[in-house]
Chains A and B, each alone.
Chain A
Amino acid sequence: MDLVNVDSRRARFETLAPAVIDAVRRYLARRTDPATADDVLSETLLICWRRLDEMPAEHLPWAYGVARLCLANAERGQRRQFRLLARISRLDPPPQTVDGPAPADDDLAAALCRLRPEEAEILRLWAWEDLAPAGIAVVLGISANAASIRLHRAKEKLRKTMTASGHEESTEGSRP
């Protein structure tokens, strides 16, 4: 690779990196502890840099997809240390870096817990990462059609679960 190419590659990465960093930091903050989030963010960026040429124009879903796999791998690697870490954090809790949302929505949290993890994750990608089915498809490595169907089902199921728990908010028009 000649120098001009290296420079333009660097420039391109420098341009898109801040948005990726911001998005992936949030993605990770929602799903893991701060220390793992830092590690996985660095790793994700390394992969983005290394595979910059493969990055599609819609780079955020792609970057989420990379972060998702890095996170899964990090969590697998940590499995053995997990119990110890859990104990340490109980005895010496790390400072809270993220303030919880103002009023905790217990019904929602409980309903999310009752969904299958894949269903809950699709809803998070939709609501938190603000992705349309096409973007969700890229993150999860499934077809846009499948993403769309799964998202639809997950929404239905979440609504149903919240209704069933008897604490439904004013969601008029929901099924009986």
Chain B
Amino acid sequence: MTDDDDLRARLRRADPAASLEPASPAQVAHLVEEAMSSSTKKWALPVAAALVLIAGGAAWAVTRPSAPEPTPAVAVSSLPARVVELTTTGVQAKCREPQPEQLASSADFAFEGTVLMIDNGRVTLTVSRVYRGEAADEVAVAQAGDSSETMLGSGKFEKGRNYLVSSADGSVLICGYSGEADAIGLRDLYEAAF
């Protein structure tokens, strides 16, 4: 135990925040007030993304995964015309480390694609590679809100960028399971999972 104490003490001496001055009461009050007065608008809808396939192949049969989804952040209800209506449940701010096994068991559709256009919150991606599921040429995702805390990259779809996206039951899997294709580790995760 003393060994541990020594090690801890030594690490503590190297603590870069050791001499950090405490926030002044005014700063604290300001931060608290800022948090409480922020309208939920900006933050309550951090993600909302759901998938609709305008797939080249007709209906890709939805094979429902028996394993629980990692973190379904959005609830989706499909309307007859395959337009997706979203209700946001708020996003999990805490995510587990993404695991390839989890991705493999949860995702029923996964692809790489480039954002072709974003129109009124509807994102159209051209598919360059399907990792899992029926082949598709285009995928439409309804994107609401400004950003997601949990989608890798800038947190939202941006025109011209390349994304790796997986979904289960028409819901985009977030929490590190979807995001910009060059986000660190994401491609490795996909290669490992599929």
List chain A residues, Cβ under 8 A from B16. Answer: 29-30, 98, 100-101
9-residue interface stretch from B59-67, B94-102, B132-140, B162-170: B94-102
How many chain A residues touch B (CB < 8 A): the figure is 54
A128 near B93 with CB under 8 A, answer no
Q: Tell me whether B6 is interfacial, beta carbon within 8 Å.
A: yes
A173 near B155 with CB under 8 A, answer no
B95 near A29 with CB under 8 A, answer no
Name the residue of chain B whose CB is nearest to the CB of A103: B13
Name the residue of chain B whose CB is nearest to the CB of A16: B32
Complex: how many Å from CA A101 to CA B95?
33
In the complex with contacts A69-B150, A76-B153, A101-B31 CB distance below 8 A: no
Q: Tell me whether A155 is interfacial, beta carbon within 8 Å.
A: yes
Complex: how many Å from CA A1 to CA B93?
23
Complex: how many Å from CA A103 to CA B97?
36
A98 near B20 with CB under 8 A, answer yes
A18 near B14 with CB under 8 A, answer no
Complex: how many Å from CA A30 to CA B34?
24
Q: Tell me whether A108 is interfacial, beta carbon within 8 Å.
A: yes
Contact of A45 among B6, B32, B44, B183 (CB under 8 A): B32
Complex: how many Å from CA A52 to CA B39?
15
Q: Tell me whether B38 is interfacial, beta carbon within 8 Å.
A: yes
List chain A residues, Cβ under 8 A from B34. Answer: 42, 45
Q: Tell me whether A88 is interfacial, beta carbon within 8 Å.
A: no
Name the residue of chain B whose CB is nearest to the CB of A77: B154
Complex: how many Å from CA A119 to CA B149?
25
Nearest CB of A to B85, in Å: 24
Complex: how many Å from CA A112 to CA B38?
39
Contact of B11 among A108, A141, A142 (CB under 8 A): A108
| In the complex, per-residue mask of A160-174: 1 if CB is within 8 Å of any chain B CB, else 0 | 000000000101011
Contact of B93 among A41, A51, A159 (CB under 8 A): A51
Q: Tell me whether A50 is interfacial, beta carbon within 8 Å.
A: yes
B97 near A141 with CB under 8 A, answer yes
Q: Which of B139-190 contact A (CB under 8 A)?
A: 149-150, 152-155, 179, 183-184
B28 near A17 with CB under 8 A, answer yes
A50 near B17 with CB under 8 A, answer no
A69-B93, A69-B150 known; 14 new pairs, CB 8 Å cut-off, are: A17-B35, A18-B32, A22-B23, A27-B17, A50-B43, A70-B149, A73-B155, A76-B152, A99-B19, A101-B15, A101-B16, A101-B18, A128-B11, A141-B96
Q: What are 12 of the A-B contact pairs (CB < 8 Å)?
A: A14-B32, A17-B28, A46-B38, A47-B149, A65-B94, A69-B94, A98-B16, A104-B14, A108-B10, A123-B11, A155-B4, A159-B7
Interface residues, chain B, CB within 8 Å of chain A?
3-4, 6-8, 10-20, 22-23, 28, 31-32, 34-36, 38, 40, 43-44, 90, 93-97, 149-150, 152-155, 179, 183-184
